[in-house]
Amino acid sequence: MAKVIQERNLCVGCGACAAICPKYWEMGGDGKAHLKESTVTGENHIIIVENVECNTDAANACPVKCIKIEE
């Protein structure tokens, strides 16, 4: 199991995560990326996944590094 964490307040809305990993990411109405089916904890959006799949690529593509993966 792995934890995908988005520090949403840092998101600049470039859309790279949604383009690379649409299974988990989409662009929200506020112009920022949204981690689908996530739980909000403070300013972080978190989801627990069995396999990180394309989330590693999304994290690596993020220009502000607001996506973290904890395995």
Structure confidence by residue, pLDDT tens digits, 13-30: 999 999 999 999 999 999
Nearest to 69 by CA among 35, 43, 42, 40: 35
Q: Is the dihedral of CA 35, 39, 40, 41 positive or negative?
A: negative
Q: Is the dihedral of CA 41, 39, 26, 49 positive or negative?
A: positive
Instruction: Tell me the one-letter amino acid at 15.
Output: G
Would you state the pLDDT for residue 49?
97
Q: How far apart are CA 56 and CA 39, in angstroms?
A: 19
What are the boundaries of each domain within the chain?
2-70
Would you state the pLDDT for residue 5?
98
CATH T-level fold of 2-70: Alpha-Beta Plaits (3.30.70)
Nearest to 67 by CA among 37, 24, 28, 31: 24
Low-confidence stretches of the chain (pLDDT < 50) are: none
Would you state the pLDDT for residue 34?
97
